[in-house]
Structures are given as structure tokens and as C-alpha cells.
Amino acid sequence: MLIKYIIMGKGDIKTRRGKITRGTYGKTRPKPKKKHKASKTA
């Protein structure tokens, strides 16, 4: 019997840990929101 994919852990691309390991983002691991710099008003 062969296991087609890893159910949980670093190798599972659907879990948060798997996404952190691969460096990808998605529903489980959303991208962090960028902070806006205060622009200079001269």
C-alpha cells in the first residue's frame, strides 16, 4: 500500500506548516499586510 501524499506536517502543502516550509501563501497562510509609510509633505 502506497501513501500518495503526506497527511500532515512540513510536506503537506495544504497546512500552515507546509506553506511556511515551501514559502508559499494561500487561504491557510495569508500574506502579511504591508504597512504604509507616512509620506513627507513639503
Q: What is the reported pLDDT for 13?
A: 83
Rounded-to-integer distance, Cα 14 and Cα 9, Å: 9
Number of H helices and number of E strands within the chain?
1, 0
Q: Is the pLDDT of residue 39 over 60?
A: yes
By three-state DSSP, how is residue 21 classified?
Answer: helix
Structure confidence at residue 31 (pLDDT): 92
d(CA 18, CA 11): 5
C-alpha 19/C-alpha 28 separation (Å) is 8
Quick: pLDDT tens for 3-37: 566 577 888 888 899 899 999 999 988 998 888 87
pLDDT at 2 over 60: no
Pairwise CA distance, residues 19 & 32, whole Å: 14
